[in-house]
Structure formats: structure tokens, C-alpha cells
Amino acid sequence: MPATLGFGRERAAANPLDVLEQILAANEWAFERRSDGEMAAEAPGKWCDYGLYFSWSPEISAMHFTCAFDLKVPHGRRDRLFELLALANEKLWLGHFGLEGEEGVPVFRHSVLLRGAPGASAESLEDMVDIAIAECERFFPAFQFVLWGGRSPADALAAAMLDCVGEA
């Protein structure tokens, strides 16, 4: 257990998965509460459905969150994708992109520390999920450009980051 710097033991935060369950139900997203410390869900997106995974550790009052793309990266294209991940991560304020598992599924990850807090607010948890999905949606085209369009990571990111103005 980490040192408390002389402040003594603080009360553990309430389990944020209890609040997340209500948020997911209100959005009518499919979810499964696997245990007191784990929950999985599926959220619809513009480009694909996203697999959400929440893990709560009461020992350190931290929640780890993963938002996985419905996309598998072939082994032969992973070097270019790792370069894209590094470039994309430079543009993020919160969380980071990575590649998970043997199948090579791109994911957005974020962790929240809640030690000393009574718990996570519904608003902060909604923001966490909304930001993750928004970032996945924003960068999804860049993943596609690199994996299937033959574009360089820098070109793919530049093309994906273009903001269109007006209507066609």
C-alpha cells in the first residue's frame, strides 16, 4: 500500500460502477456487470460499435476504463499503426491510444483516481465515456487510412483531423 504522507488513511471512494450502471441503462446500451469490480458494455458509434470495459480497484480507489474499436490490426501493418498511435496521443488531453491483445485491437484507455473523494459524479463518468467515444470517432478514419488506404501515419492523421465547414 502506498505511503500516506502523514495524512492518515482516507475513506475509500464509493464504487463508480454503481453509477455507471445507471448511465449505461439510461443510454439503453447493452452491458454486463461481471463482478463488483468489472463491467463491460457496448456503445454505438458513427464508424463502429465500441466495446467499453470498466475495472474498479477499491484498494487504490482507481477505475481503469478501456474503449475498444471493432477493428483488428493485421500483424504486417502494426509498425505503421504504432507510429499513428504516437502521433494521435500527442493530440489528446486525457487518456491514450494503444493496441491490445494478440488480435491487435486499437483501444482508448483512461484511469481515474478517486482516493479521498466520496465517489465519482455521474457527470464526470458521463464525460469520461463521452470523451473516449468522441476521440475514437475522431481518429477512426486515420486508423482506416493507415490500415486499408495505404496512407502514411502523418498523412492519415492530417486527413482525419480536417474539419469540414459548410455543407456539400
The answer to whether residue 8 sits within a structural domain is no
The answer to whether residue 4 sits within a structural domain is no
Query: Around Cβ 61, how many Cβ atoms within 10 Å?
Result: 22
The answer to whether residue 146 sits within a structural domain is no
- Tracing cell 467499453 back to the chain, one arrives at 52
The sign of the CA dihedral 145, 126, 45, 36 is positive
The answer to whether residue 11 sits within a structural domain is no
CATH number of the domain where residue 99 is located:
3.30.1460.70
With contact defined as beta carbons under 8 Å apart, do 14 and 117 qualify?
no
Calpha distance 27→43 (Å, rounded): 9
**Host domain of residue 100:** 16-138
With contact defined as beta carbons under 8 Å apart, do 4 and 11 qualify?
no
**Residuewise pLDDT in 10s, the chain (168 residues):** 454 444 445 556 789 999 999 999 999 999 999 999 999 999 999 999 999 999 999 999 999 999 999 888 888 889 999 999 999 999 999 999 999 987 889 999 999 998 888 888 899 999 999 999 999 999 999 999 999 898 999 999 998 877 544 455
Residues near 6 by beta carbon (within 8 Å), at least 6 away in sequence? none
